[in-house]
Every structure is written in C-alpha cells, then in structure tokens.
Amino acid sequence: MDKVKRIGMLTSGGDSPGMNAAVVSVARCAMRKGFQLMGIKRGYNGLLGLSENPEDDIEYLDPETVLDIMDMRGTYLRTARCLPFLQPEVRAKAAEDLRRQGIQALVVIGGDGSYHGALELCKLGIPCIGIPGTIDNDLRYTEATLGYDTAVNVCVEAVRSIRATSRSHDRPAVVQVMGRNCGDIAMRTAIATGAEMVIVPEMEWDLEEVADRLKFLISKGNTRATLVISEHCWHKMKPFDWRKVIAEGGFIIHDDDPLNAERLALVLKLLSHTEARATVIGYTQRGAIPTAYDSAFAFEAGRMAVDLLSGDTSSFEDGFAIGVRDGRVYSTPFAEALDDTKPKFFDKDLYRLINSL
C-alpha cells in the first residue's frame, strides 16, 4: 500500500462537544507530517456524493483556518446518521470514490454505529481511525468519549439550578438527561449534585418504590429531593398501572400515552402529595462548549490518529479506535472496541448507594 498522503475526516452520528477540537488537532498534526486533510461533510452522507457534487461534500482543511473552530459548539463538518451506508454496495462505491479523490485514509469521529461503518471501509482497503465522539459514554473499550465530560457538566449545572429553585418552593424534581442506553451521564450527574434518586437503563426500577422513597425523604424534611432519570428507561420499569393513578387524580390520560418525565412527575406528585416538577435537559448537553477535558482529549486523540496513519497502514484491515484506558489515550482495533460480548462496566453498588442514602 502507498504511504498515506491525503486523509479524509468526518463526524458522524449525534454531534458532541470536542469534535471540532479533534478536527483542529488532526489538521495541525497532519500538516506537521506533510499530509493533506480533506473534511467530508455530514458524516458518511458526504461520501455518497463524492462522485456527483464533490464540492458540496468535501473541503480542504487548512490548519490555520480551522484553528478558529477549536472551541466552537456543534460540529463544523456537520453530521448525519447515514442509513444507506448499511448497504455493502453503497460502501463499496464510497471506497471507490474515496480512492478517486486520492483520499487514502479516513478519520471517523462518532459512536458505535459510525465505527461499524469505518470497520467495513477498512475491509475495503481504506485504513480508518475512530475517535469516540458521543456524549453517551457508551463504548465499552474507553473510559471516556468526546463530549461526555461536557454533557455531565451541563447536567450538573442544570441540576444545581433546579435544586436551588426546588428548595425555594419545597418541590421535588424529576430531571431527565440523555445517554441513549447508557446511564453514565445520569449516574455522574447524580453523584456530583447529591441527587437522592437515580434511574438508569442498566437497572430495572419500580415506580412505587420511587414514590415510597420520595415520601420517606419528604417525611425527613427533604422537600426538594431530586430524581435524575436517564432517557430510554421506561421499558425497565416493573409493571405498574400509572395511568390509573393519573386518571384517578382527575387528569386526562389515553391508553397509548407513553410514560415520560412529565407524567412521571405527575404520578409522583399524586402518590406523594407534593408539587413534583419535571425538566428535560435535552440538546443543551450536545451543543455546549467543550470542557478542558474534552478539548484536551480531542487534541491527544487527533495526534494519535495522525501518528497511526503515518506508520505502516498495510495491516489496517481492523482499523483502530482511540480511547482512554487507565487515564491515558491509547488505541485498539475496531473489532476489539466493538466487541459486545464483554459488557460495559456498570457500578451497581454506587447505584444502590445513591438510591438509599
């Protein structure tokens, strides 16, 4: 295989704080090695248009120009979730188009779905490096993903504010955070804010137990108790007729109305006779300015990506994913990073502690 001279880079999946810092890092380190860096727009979608309108999908990234995006919010390269890329013939064409553009290797910043795409491109002869860009921290092989620390800080700031107003009004709070199927953002936010309850998708939960705990906390004078709940936990609730509670409370509820943070707060309000209120933190977690940790991690990851591509890429069929292990940035083959036979560690003891203190 020829030595890499031109690298492509894309961001894919949900945007995450730190993605831009990783682009800056790759651009600067690439320049030092004499590589040219091409930015591909809107994730793998940008690869699909390379043969028709390359000018809309690809841009030369001048290291001096991109320096300005170091702490920019969102992702400069734009992002997307690209379903057609699941099809082998679409990927084969993308690899062909990359070669036609003289792009010999790719740096992909994204989560597990993006990594699967990158691994497939490796098999088609395009060496790929993955940088874990997702706020969810749901990748087993790494202690941190780009944007996770920022998302936690956004949630902590929000919960602190919510707890202040909750205290003023003697109102318990239900606060929903993101994380997809991983409860890390919820757990970290709960620990850092002293929240009295947490619900995560890793654990089954019982709404009546939550209501009992809230009643207990209120009886002890804690009238502003906070429940931090991760999104996508609803299917982990033990069967309980919460609609009946709402209907008996005099509120309108339909059989197909799903449980959500607002309805959970209403059920808790009715069961514990308090003014529980709900807040969904939402996309503010993704659109925040990266913390120093995320920016620095992005920079180190970008440097490692370029270092790997400047070595021998002839044995790159498995590509490499960059992550953090024992606090240090390291790389491991995609196959190992994506191996879901080894579940991600979840600290059940800490979970029980938060819910019982």
- The answer to whether 179 contacts ligand F6P (rule: CB under 6 A) is yes
Task: Indicate which residue of 15, 97, 112, 136 is catalytic.
Answer: 136
Question: What does the alpha-carbon distance between residue 26 and residue 66 come to, in Å, rounded to a whole number?
Answer: 10
- The answer to whether 136 contacts ligand F6P (rule: CB under 6 A) is yes
User: Nearest distance from residue 220's CB to ligand F6P, in Å?
Assistant: 34
Closer CB to ligand F6P, residue 19 or residue 61? 19
Stretch of residues binding ligand F6P (CB under 6 A), selected from 102-110, 131-139, 195-203, 260-268? 131-139
- The answer to whether 127 contacts ligand F6P (rule: CB under 6 A) is no
In the shown chain, the binding pattern of residues 272 to 301 toward ligand F6P, with x for contact by CB under 6 A and - for none, equals: --------------x---------------
Closer CB to ligand F6P, residue 17 or residue 172? 17
Side-chain-facing half-sphere of 151: CA atoms under 13 Å:
33
Side-chain-facing half-sphere of 353: CA atoms under 13 Å:
9
Closer CB to ligand F6P, residue 79 or residue 310? 79
User: Nearest distance from residue 42's CB to ligand F6P, in Å?
Assistant: 13
**Closest residue to ligand F6P using C-beta atoms:** 14
Letter string b/e over residues 67-102, b meaning 16 or more CB atoms within 10 A of that residue's CB: eebeebbbbbbbbbbbeebeeeebbebbbebbeebe
Q: Is 129 helix (H, G, I), strand (E, B) or coil?
A: strand
- The answer to whether 226 contacts ligand F6P (rule: CB under 6 A) is no
- The answer to whether 180 contacts ligand F6P (rule: CB under 6 A) is yes
Tokens coding 204: 């089954």
Question: What does the alpha-carbon distance between residue 111 and residue 134 come to, in Å, rounded to a whole number?
Answer: 6
**174: closest CA among 153, 190, 152?**
190
DSSP state, 345?
P
Number of H helices, E strands in the chain: 14, 11
- The answer to whether 134 contacts ligand F6P (rule: CB under 6 A) is yes
Stretch of residues binding ligand F6P (CB under 6 A), selected from 24-32, 93-101, 133-141, 243-251? 133-141
Contacts of 169 (CB under 8 A, 6+ apart): 224, 275
Helices 261-272 and 207-219, axial angle in degrees (round to 10) = 50
Is residue 136 flagged as an active site residue? yes
User: Nearest distance from residue 12's CB to ligand F6P, in Å?
Assistant: 11
User: Of 22, 77, 135, 162, which one interacts with ligand F6P (CB under 6 A)?
Assistant: 135
Tokens coding 104: 């010999």
Closer CB to ligand F6P, residue 134 or residue 272? 134
Residues acting as catalytic residues: 136
Positions in the binding site for ligand F6P (CB under 6 A): 14, 111, 134-136, 178-180, 231, 286
